Structure 1
């Protein structure tokens, strides 16, 4: 049994001793900077989720190194943060001691993975030589106006006792401890990320990032052009809202204010305050329980109304859970007819829906005319106490939300069949004439204007329903139709009495079961002087009108907020600011940096630990030398990760944060790897930081990460692998039993790297067997005696295809496909190893040892040295493929050979001739190869069998006419991509029959069909005869 653990320990020791992955700038080589998001050093072990993340990056770095690139592949630790502070408190030790111990442990585990890091560049953000430059950048940004302090409502976690940035709040909870977040008004420090909002958005298009993560950033930045409109509350107080859809302002039927709006309870009318407070409590409880059903779209009336400045309509104001307090004004105008979210809210709370955009202005006129006709019919039927309902047609249009429709017809159904004659007479009296035809003999009438009324006397349809048809669906002559009661006609009549100004306003009609809002483009209606305009044109015209009347102004809004960095904790970078009664806010002088964290602090008290250090808090003003106080907040952890990739370029610099020449050589990062969860935190801040430093002439590039890859999560037993779920598989337990290369290969093979993967104990066993097969090939090499070299050209062909495929798949993060190619190649090599020359086998194994290096580096080194090499496989040159050696005809022939072996086994099974004395392989007649070639040409033009056969009958194979007629329909969809010649196929089988003789221990004959009674052979599909 191979001791893979001993092999990995040996090579890791050699790599470290000789520092083979240490790198420096080399202008003669093309650089490649590969980087994974650096981890927080909290784990006392690594599980298979970690192994997967780092194996992906290492495979890329190793491949690029082998391809001749000068590869920078560093590692460090994001070591400041609240978890270390809390863990240290539990263990009653200093956070520094806890963090240093954690770094020592995690570094050891990472080294045991065999990762090809340049460990000489290792950094840790809690060390003063790093955080000194956090403070330096803070001061530089402050001098440029990119850092400021203000009192602001902030997210506060009472359990962590600190402020949280917007990006650290997930579903209303703290991202660390899942405690419900509350709002507090505090003086805080901010980075002005909004100063770069446009550039952050615009430059996304230049990045080789997934569309998914670019969309997440686009939405987070949230650039919107619109209008801020000055609505008024019913007490004449200003109530501004921002909208991107001023074209719908005449359709506003309610307003919404966020539950987190700082003025909410001032606005709510006194009798409604209790209801609103109870609702806020319910929402928070639902959030804590993640009750999705409650969280969808809920609200309560505030007792207040808002006045629409364009038409003076009085609009009810609701407080609801779907409006963000920190976007625009924290309030919205709701247009339920044209926004699905608003529509659902309106239906739920029985709020008026007013349509102001229609798909076709002509449809509107048709509908209006139809409704007038219906009103006439209703008045007449009332006299006879006849009840009827709309059916299909117009009713369906209302039912499915298509209120405006082109068809000039109305379908109605009577409640009682005996009323049919009476209603027929009523309709005739109104000027309609019965139209007879077989299709509509029961119920089609028309008048001079072309309007059709459909009546139904289908008794079965009536009997199949309740006596009350309201809001029902009816099956009529196998057609599903909607039924609408006459109630809507009554509402329409009442509406007409109220509205006598000939406006195109019919949208207050009852719409039964309408499932959605109309959100397409169209024409304005019910919009005063803007009626008839295309709604996209109306956006500008109504915006002009709003500005002209001073009802508001055009505005550009961003969802992106400035970056809140203040934290009321100890274990972070101290903010280098001094407060002086005389001089105000004074930055710590650069020569005094780093401003160190004090040692004389206590963690027992609640609140900011830095406040407990009098030696830290009390200081002198650098300007006037008067008594002053230090800022006691520390910087949030995202500060540390916003520039660490620059520090890696020259990590030991003492006088500058980084060496500009080194940064200009290595940056930007060519391949960044990390989780999609960082899309709106770290990845935004890093981009902001890079652009700000560029504008300070410290960098000469715009973006930190050219390409970004987001790896998938590892699951076990259906849950994400983690300590909290109790489902971890540690690297140690796998390394002891199988060797770490087995784990690395398995996590890269089982699923595409960007996909989620499920850990499988059976799967790891299969991978272990594969690695053993590789090892045995090298172990057996010296004892392998070549029987023949008939497979040389086939092996060389497959090797060159393998090299080409591996390059493509590794470059495109298709590691699972790359490993599958290796598995297939190793299986093939095992099959033919005795039938290639010793030199060809040696050269192939030599190349293979390098090709497996990105995935199984320890086995790669061992196998490389087993062949007598003295260098490191990890720093060798990647084999180049020779396109001239790739001949897919050879692969096709071997595939035909393998399929023929399967056919022989099938024939043996069917005939029960388990030990044949002779097997004849019958190669197809020569003319069939010609048939296949001609068919391949013809099927490009047509797939019609008759046309193809007709063409074939005009060729020199027409003498086989009957056979052609029989074969063409059977083989037309089975023509292979490669078509050989009879002699080539026969010669191949002759040369390779040695494999069949070995397998079946009998005489093997290769004959052509012309010499045999068997005539069912086809090109690539020989017939089989057993004796």
Structure 2
């Protein structure tokens, strides 16, 4: 049974959530008299299982900031929507024999009801659902604009193919080389795919980082993903044909002893000799994935193709291998291998007994290549040069012989957006035998997903002939719709723009509305989205800027990555492990505000924390104490000490919320309300200010107590307290905390020893901010006993009788031995 002091939290929550909704206090409207502020959390996929604790953490972080900005007088836009298309809903349709639309709509309804219980400041009039054709119509419209500008093209690319399901499988579904749906072994095939030319924006995506207030780690991840590098493209001759090979290490050209071509290269067959054909085919069947991550992690394997390349500088013939670790569309899809000076090449050469030739001075062992700098050896006329000098000199020499050129390369590759699945945005293209690929006319958008399809084997869209067969808008002859749908990252690449004018049926959005609200002032979401969503949304925004729709190029100047909540043992939560925490059950037991306060008090929001039942019970005691204090309060005049603490809290909490350092704010709030509890009297105005500081964290109970103070307006939209510096100029007698505590502890010892029990050692427990003010040596000298001091939040403190619970500002908890 929890300590609830008879407070009906649910009744308070329902009361104020209803009042907020009735008065529409969180609905955003354009108002030029107020400065705008756009707060956004990454919108969720509405799974059937509903809200998990990570969702709640994410939304509360954004909500606290939105409430803070509202109280500061900003015109706040804080919208929500649902990233509703994608494979999970389609899988549910197959498993439960229901239509994805039915599954999705039920999930959204459930998700929305759960979110509303958190007391969030969302403008529910702006909700978007990416599975609604009124939304994905504009996905299709943007795609057609990109098609017009030459940013859409089709080419063959390697894919994961499930022969049993008769469909392409994503990298995420093909982990371990098996189909997630049916367990069959994956095959690697080349198929025609639609791509967006994001590589045209590579330099701008890198340049734009200078304007962003993002976590350094996220920017570093994006820079690595885009992967701009300067190097040399060298022509090797293979079977009488030139093969350009990109390298950043031309200094090691004399040490090339083999070449490796991607096993997924479109021209691999040109390199396979008749003698090696069976060996290569056997090797290719072993390939498990086209994922670049898998290529990095898996054991490096290869097979000799039967072809040889001629080194342009030594004229040596070196064998060409097909390998599972070379990316097909990075550079030319082939790399030169220098096993003496690259560890990956070294291990490969050892495995396949390939020659190793050293060309840079340094020690090579049986296990390690030499990968440091040094002087060239075994390199003809370039011997003696440092390898850094040799990069320039060898490149210059090759250029004079017309055998090489300096190039800039990117790891970033064009975005493959076609998916062979049903529950996605239909690609608005037609295939006409006479006219070729033809875009759907804009007036015919949206191309709506047909409801009558068969799920199971293959792409469901190919089962509806009536939908597939249409007339070509150019020649009026027979044509067929493109049966692929768009990657769901397309839906999330511009959704933040649609929120600005989500109910517009005539155009993608009103330019004036978007240019008023955008860009997003604070975007809250997980760091795992650094290299997909957060690159794609920047690309889309730059494109929409280029066609004149918007005035800005970066959608999110400030990004905040929240941490992860693990179970009490530090393990990742999951339903399969049985260690997940259900936020709704927690809120039912402890109250929404207790849950909100606890989640922000355990750690800085970007760090995450381990769930703790003890911790949430501590937050419940704090919330209960606020009500108890209110009931006992005598309103009158403020003490100078309290005014100093209150204004210090106003200043600190304002700075802390702005920095999203919420944990520090919860410490300040605990100290403030502990001090209030020990005041003989306090002014209504000061108690009201204290409630305002708590309001972003605990909005329901502060509305309730604000009303009990006699206010008719909502505390949620009242004015944030202003810091009064004049309070600190009033002279007050500074009390030495050491002297105060020496006197207090000596009095306790005297009372304790009157009973005939001697005190050998004193353990002192104080609130965190007092630790720095205490001098242990001075206390020991003044008390004349052995002594240890602990912060009440010190997890390693010695506290056998839980005396630290009694510590408040100015009064320590004490334990005697």
Q: Which category of TM-score, normalised to the shorter sequence, fits these structures?
A: 0.7 to 0.9
Partners of 1:633 and 1:285 in 2: CA distance: 21
Contact 2:188 2:287 (8 Å CA) reproduced: no
Q: 1:206 aligns to what?
A: 211
CA separation of 1:327/1:158 partners in 2, compared to 1, >3 Å: closer, same or farther? farther
Is contact 1:908–1:914 with CA below 8 Å preserved after alignment?
A: no
Change over 3 Å in CA distance of 1:597–1:996 after alignment to 2: closer
Query: Per the alignment, do residues 299 and 883 of structure 1 end up closer, same or farther by CA in structure 2, a change over 3 Å counting?
Result: farther
The match for 2:523 is 672
Structure 2's unaligned 5+ residue stretches are 1-5, 758-780, 782-808
Residues 882 and 898 of structure 1, relative CA distance in 2, 3 Å threshold: same
1:143 to 137, 142, 148: 148
The superposition leaves residues 261-311 of structure 1 with CA deviations (integer Å, 9 ceiling, x where unpaired) of: 44556645666666666666667499999999x935455555654332101
Of 574, 584, 604, the residue aligned with 1:732 is 584
1:665/1:153 CA distance change after superposition, 3 Å:
same
Q: How does 1:967-978 map to 2 (within 5 A)?
A: none
Paired with 1:676 and 1:217, the residues of 2 have a C-alpha distance of: 11
- CA deviation map 1:360-389 (0-9, x unaligned): xxxxxxxxxxxxxxxxxxxxxxxxxxxxxx
Q: Contact 2:340 / 2:346 at 8 angstroms: preserved in 1?
A: yes
Describe the SS at the equivalent of 1:833.
Answer: coil
- Select which of 245, 253, 256 maps to 2:257: 253
Identify the range of structure 1 (805-814 vs 533-542) with the bigger mean alpha-carbon deviation: 533-542
Distance across 2 between alignment mates of 1:891 and 1:678: 54
**What is the rounded CA distance, in whole Å, between the counterparts of 1:160 and 1:729 in structure 2?**
35
1:5 partnered with 2:4: no
* SS at structure 2 position matched to 1:726: coil
Aligned to 1:377: none
Q: Does 1:802 align with 2:646?
A: no
Once the two structures are superposed, the pairs formed by residues 807-822 of structure 1 within 5 Å of their partners are 807-822=654-669
Q: What's the counterpart of residue 751 of structure 1?
A: 603
Alignment check: 8 A CA contact 2:424 2:485 kept? yes
Secondary structure, counterpart of 2:425 in structure 1: coil
What secondary structure, in the 3-state scheme, does the structure 1 residue paired with 2:735 have?
helix
**Rg larger in structure:** 1
Cα distance change of structure 1 residues 870 and 320 upon mapping to structure 2, 3 Å threshold: same
- Report the counterpart of residue 112 of structure 1 in structure 2: 117
How big is the shift at 1:355? 3.7
Name the structure 2 match of 1:720: 572
Question: Are residues 1:61 and 2:66 paired?
Answer: yes
Q: Deviations over 1:703-722 (max 9, x none)?
A: 11111111112212443223
Pair 1:833-2:679 in alignment: yes
Question: Residue 886 and residue 316 in structure 1: after superposition, are their counterparts in 2 closer, same or farther (change >3 A)?
Answer: farther
Partner of 2:96: 91
Matched, 1:872 2:714: yes
1:164–1:669 CA distance, 2 compared to 1 (3 A): farther
2:132 matched residue in structure 1: 127
| Paired residues of 1:171 and 1:287 also in contact (CA < 8 A) | no
Q: Which of 439, 460, 464 is 1:609 aligned to?
A: 460
Residue 541 of structure 2, aligned match among 681, 686, 690:
690
Contact 1:256–1:331 (Cα < 8 Å) also in 2: yes
Counting only pairs closer than 5 Å after superposition, residues 50-449 of structure 1 correspond to structure 2 as 50-156=55-161, 162-163=167-168, 182-233=187-238, 235-236=239-240, 238-264=242-268, 267=271, 284=288, 295-299=298-302, 305-346=308-349, 351-358=354-361, 403=363
TM-score, normalised via structure 1 length: 0.68
Deviates more, 1:307-316 or 1:875-884: 307-316
1:934-953 matches, within 5 Å, as none
Partners of 1:906 and 1:318 lie apart in 2 by 83
Partner SS state of residue 309, structure 2: strand
1:15 equivalent in alignment to 2:24: no
User: Taking structure 1 as reference, are residues 888 and 722 closer, same or farther at Cα in structure 2, changes over 3 Å only?
Assistant: farther
* Compared CA separation, residues 769 and 218, structure 1 to 2 (3 A): same
Question: In 2 relative to 1, CA 825–136 (structure 1 residues): closer, same or farther, beyond 3 Å?
Answer: same
- Cα shift at 1:766: 1.2
Q: Cα distance, 1:998 vs. partner?
A: 14
1:649 alignment partner, SS class: helix
SS in 2 for 1:186: strand
The 8 Å contact of residues 187 and 285 in structure 2, kept in 1 or not, is answered as no
Superposition deviation, residue 534 in structure 1: 3.6
Distance 1:173-1:642 versus aligned 2 partners, 3 A rule: farther
Shift of 1:601: 2.2
Matched, 1:662 2:666: no
- Residue of 479, 484, 495 corresponding to 1:633: 484
The equivalent position to 1:883 in structure 2, one of 710, 725, 734, is 725
* Aligned counterparts, 1:577-656, within 5 A: 577-604=429-456, 606-656=457-507
Displacement after TM superposition at 1:873 (Å): 0.9
Once residues 199 and 181 of structure 1 are traced to their aligned partners in structure 2, the CA distance between those partners, rounded to angstroms, is: 37
The structure-2 alpha-carbon separation of the partners of 1:172 and 1:263, relative to structure 1 and needing over 3 Å to count, comes to farther
Identify if the C-alpha distance between structure 1 residues 668 and 182 changes in structure 2 by more than 3 Å, giving closer, same or farther: farther
Q: Matches of 1:742 and 1:326 in 2, distance apart?
A: 52
Gap change, CA 1:775 and 1:170, over 3 Å in 2 = farther
Q: Deviations over 1:627-685 (max 9, x none)?
A: 22222222221111111111000111111100100110111111111112222221111
Measure the CA separation in 2 of the matches of 1:337 and 1:30: 62
* Cα RMSD, aligned residues only: 3.4
Is the contact between residue 84 and residue 98 of structure 1 (CA under 8 Å) also seen in structure 2? yes
The CA deviation at 1:240 is 3.5
Do the aligned residues in 1 keep the contact of 2:222 with 2:530 (CA within 8 Å)? Answer: yes
Does residue 33 (structure 1) correspond to residue 41 (structure 2)? The answer is no
SS at match of 1:229: strand
SS in 2 for 1:315: strand
List gaps (5 residues or longer) in structure 1. Answer: 359-401, 404-510, 917-966, 968-994, 1001-1027
Distance 2:276 2:541 in 1: 50
Deviation at 1:724, TM superposition (A): 3.2
- Partner SS for 2:447: coil
Q: Is the 8 A contact 2:292 2:327 kept in 1?
A: no
**Structure 2 residue aligned with 1:519:** 372
